[in-house]
């Protein structure tokens, strides 16, 4: 009998960068976690995109605040927005976490820390052109992950972006 594809862990990790695809990933991950009775870990890696410097600073309203603190606020708002239209997210056990570094590195590290059985990511980040030219972070996670990775794209009808 082959080993079970799903180990005993009941943790699912979803990485979000506030893009439409990552919102779709979060909704999908919440539904999946709800169906399997798993705990959902929502991770945001605070990292100014190379093509969009000041991504966090613009949200600070000019306050001299650490980017990580701004990212925490943004994640809270993002989660509140998704909860308003995703019933599953409101029903399951969710923990959120913000860290700093390169997204592909920290996602894999955190997956190990929480003993995740599955990582869920959005297909493309904030800049589709750069991701197409240089490879997306999701692709790099898939390449290096030792556990299954689900890559979710926003549907053609468009997942409603939470503002």
Partner 1 sequence: MLSGLTDVPGSEVQWFPLIAAMGGALALFLYGLERMTRALKAVAGSRLRGVLEMLTTNRLSGVAAGAFMTALLQSSSVTTVLLVSFISSGLMSMSQSVGVIMGANVGSTVTAQIIAFKVTELSFALIGVGFGLTLIPKPSYLRHHGEGILGLGLIFLGMTIMSDAMAPLRDYPPFVDWMIRMESPALGIAAAALFTGLVQSSAATTGIVIAMASQGLLSLSAGVALILGANIGTCVTAVLAAIGKPREAVRAALVHVLFNVMGVLIWLPFLGILADMAVWLSPSDPALAGSARMAAETPRQIANAHTLFNVTNVVLFLPFSTLLARLVERLVRDRPEAQEELIRALYLDTALLPTPSLALDQARREVGRLLEKVKEIFRAALPVVMDGSPDKMEAVRAQDDAIDALHRHIVGYLGRINESALSDEETAELLRLAAATNAIENVGDVIETDLIGRGFTRERGQLKISDETRAVIRGFHEEVGRALDGAHLAVAKRDSVSARRVIAQKPHIQQLADEAARHQIRRLVAHRGAGLPEYAVETDIVEDLRRIYYFAKRIAHGVVDDEPDRPDD
Taking residues 119 to 148 in sequence order and writing x for each that binds partner 1 by CB under 8 A, - otherwise, the string is -----------x---x--------------
Name the residue among 49, 26, 46 with its Cα closest to residue 129. 49
Asked if 52 interacts with partner 1 (CB under 8 A), we say yes
| 100 near partner 1, judged by CB under 8 A | yes
Q: Is 56 in the site for partner 1 (CB under 8 A)?
A: yes
Is residue 61 part of the contact set for partner 1 (CB under 8 A)? no
Which stretches of the chain are DSSP H helices? 20-36, 67-83, 87-91, 103-113, 128-134, 137-144
User: Judged by CB under 8 A, which of 6, 35, 36, 48 binds partner 1?
Assistant: 48
In terms of CB distance, is 73 or 83 closer to partner 1? 73
Residue 66 interacts with partner 1 (CB under 8 A)?
yes
- Are the C-beta atoms of residues 92 and 30 closer than 8 Å to each other? yes
Which one of 7, 35, 51, 93 is in contact with partner 1 (CB under 8 A)?
Answer: 51
Cα–Cα nearest to 43, from 132, 109, 139: 109
Token pair recorded at residue 1:
């009998």
- The answer to whether 153 and 124 have CB atoms below 8 angstroms apart is yes
Question: Rounded to an integer, what distance in angstroms lies between the CA atom of residue 20 and that of residue 93?
Answer: 23
Among 6, 7, 54, 148, binds partner 1 (CB under 8 A): 54
Residues making contact with partner 1 (CB under 8 A): 47-58, 62-68, 99-102, 105-106, 109, 130, 134
């Amino acid at each position: 009998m082959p080993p079970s594809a799903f180990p005993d862990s009941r943790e699912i990790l979803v990485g979000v960068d506030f893009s439409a695809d990552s919102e779709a990933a979060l909704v999908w991950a919440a539904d999946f976690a709800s169906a399997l009775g798993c705990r959902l870990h929502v991770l945001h890696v605070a990292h100014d995109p190379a093509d969009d410097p000041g991504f966090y600073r613009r949200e600070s309203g000019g306050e001299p605040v650490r980017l990580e603190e701004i990212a925490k606020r943004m994640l809270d708002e993002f989660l509140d927005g998704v909860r308003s239209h995703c019933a599953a997210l409101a029903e399951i056990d969710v923990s959120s976490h913000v860290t700093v570094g390169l997204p592909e590195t920290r996602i894999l590290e955190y997956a190990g820390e929480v003993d995740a059985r599955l990582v869920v990511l959005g297909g493309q980040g904030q800049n589709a052109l750069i991701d197409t030219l240089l490879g997306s972070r999701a692709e790099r996670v898939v390449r290096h992950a030792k556990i299954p990775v689900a890559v979710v794209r926003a549907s053609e009808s468009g997942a409603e972006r939470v503002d």
